[in-house]
Chain A
Amino acid sequence: MADTPKMNTVGRPSAPDFDIEHTSFKTLLGGRGLLQSEKLIFEWDDYHRTGVDFADVAIDTSDLGDLVRGDTLNLPGLTEPEAVRHYVRLSQKNHAIDLALYPLGSCTMKHNPRLNEKMARVSGLGDIHPLQPVSTVQGALALMDSLAHWLKTLTGMPAVALTPKAGANGELCGLLAIKAAHEAKGQGQRRTVLVPSSAHGTNPATAAFVGYTVREIGQTNDGRVDLEDLKAKIAATGDQLAAIMLTNPNTCGLFERDIVTIAELIHAAGGYFYCDGANFNAIVGRVRPGDLGVDAMHINLHKTFSTPHGGGGPGAGPVVLSEALAAFAPRPWVVSSGQGFTLEEHGEDASKANFGRMCAFHGQMGMYIRALTYMLSHGSDGLKQVAEDAVLNANYIKVALGDVMSVPFPDGPCMHEALFDDSWLEGTGVTTLDFAKAMIDEGFHPMTMYFPLVVHGAMLIEPTETESKAELDRFVAVLRALAEAALDGDVSRFKGAPYLAPAKRLDETRAARQPKLTHS
């Protein structure tokens, strides 16, 4: 056997032997080390390759005549290694919860358990067809029934419509049920919705969608619904009042203390209480919306119940309904009998009142599976702990930053998210946007900015329960240091930020003025 050659270490430095002053040079290919530049798939030269192996069979299309496609598809194909590399390179330009804190207030970026993903892909769940005979999908219907049971029990509500495809679709479902209920009582003139000024944009958008007029209600100095203004608006709206749409905990991260009174006032005036359940994760397992007088509430399964956000969906937005609205739920729904489960798809049984159909088939089954897996994993005790830890983490952030950043509603605890405004930045030349962009250089995703609209330069931080104390401390240390830098006048650190992200600040005005939405 030949001698193993020894590595020649003579003259080989073990540390850099020159001072690196800066590294802001352009690389030959435009990437930066591990961060590869990546062209568009449409910029490959050869469009005739493919990453699948299908035979080119001969077919007789004479019966199709002119229907055969004549134009060039002009769609590039990549072989598998090229495709994998393309998407892996792109993926590395994304921030993700799996990488670091992602404190987008109101969005609930919590850890997504991988068991949920595994179960959604099991044969018999992930691969079944929505229109198979119901005798062959009894397990799927049982799963939906089980999810419904959990949702009803956790919310203390008697009914749930599972099919809405996301939160905003759930809002639409809730308002359509409310509209149908009013019309059934001969009260179709009730077409005004009261919405607080702090509401999510989807609330007024959904109200307008169903032809309702939006009337804003004011807010108190402590960030809650102004009861006096509410009473005045209810009186002024009279028999036009359809509903109130209220987020609770609200978008300032605060529990509406007067919520039971609000519900009573609305009900006494003939309206229904739609609760935007985007923030249900703050109270799940601890407070039941049914005990607060709610008539309808959507639940974002991708927030409270941890189905992945996927770069912008898919979500799922089941809507729990009170006794007063239950009969108006959209079709289809699962019916449980002694013999098993059936699916009511035509609404031909006793519940003729159903307002229609939200979508084809039966909703977001893939999300139902993930959410139920999450619920079964946590259980009633774990879910209560979820709410408590989420609220604890947010209050910890609020206190840990409250002496350097300004808190618009300082009195009392917050719920699952801590709200700051930009008054502390006054005179520094640094804006909320600049501050957020500097966080990117430090490896954190910015918080929700400029929302809710009722607070100037809002910064809404939602840490969620899946962050450890150590991670929160790391985050707090960075934000405190950044805050001090801003207050010390280190403006360039913020104005040019981010310096270290895969892209610099992007020209959004140009994108909107000369829209280029496809490659040409």
Chain B
Amino acid sequence: MQQFLESFLPAGPVVVFVFSIIPLMIILIYALFAIWLERKVAGHIQDRLGPMQTGGWHGWAQTLADLLKMIQKEDIVPAKADRFLFKMAPFIAFAASYAAFVAIPFSSGYIGSMIDIGVFYIVAITSLLSVSIIMAGWASNNKWSLLGAMRTAAQTVSYEVPTVVTILSVIIVTGTLNLMEVTEMQTGNAFLGFLPSWLIFHSPFMVIAFVLFFIASLAEAHRVPFDLPESESELVGGYQTEYSGMRWGLFMLTEYADMLLLSLVGATLFFGGWNSPFGSFMDGPVWGAFWMLFKGMVLVFVMMWLRWTLPRLRVDQLMNLCWKYLIPLSFVNLVLIALWEMIF
């Protein structure tokens, strides 16, 4: 990819700029699409149509119109808020989730940075999200925001443990933290002759690992049934209560970017990343990008589906689920996967 860009762009900083701007473009276009999709999914689950007017075909321009509206809105900072922290928080939140995309292999020809500690880097950089949320909650000088931020801190710190442990159990199998290499390992049809050699088919315990990972990532992305930080019916808007206009929009963008990030990590670790499900058919760098985003979007769709189906857990039940079930299970699973690796 880099060579391809260098062939027609002036060398140096411009290439680097274009190269690094690609994930941002992907996130922005995806966010516009995902918010529209969320409305459509919600609508059809609830026996209605969702947006139908804006832009003509099934209201495709609805999020675009909302974005324009948000940009025009007055930028309100509460009088007694900590202005600096209040203004910084959304940027840090978005920067954290955007920075994580650098280690995601979008296709066999494109990865932001080929770092050997890819997964570790992603886990580390997304921890910044909780910092920004606590910043937002504290700086707003609003008790509801503070409650939301406190919940987030507890939730994110707790759920990082099962996420990391399930990722670790995948790493035991792959032997590398580099997501590009993890994906390359999953090329071909190794299992039973026809199943793609994705890690989810590697052993029954990998299925358990995926389920644990998915539940934990729901909590990490603050999606129903774990959307306590912003639980609308309890905390008004949680840490977002005092935000309006584009600052709020950035939090929204972060939420959706985070969903995609965790879905893409899940797709890479368990579903073969950019590998085609049909062996060498529909393979190649361009199809690779398609498959990667497609697999990610399927997981994003499941998250939306859950959101419009399930009620919300209470904060103590959330902690119970994490510390009493998810963490012990993920550790047991880690040991079982390690044993499986040793025996076979």
Q: Do A and B come from one complex?
A: no
Which A residues fall within an 8 A CB radius of B? none
Which B residues fall within an 8 A CB radius of A? none
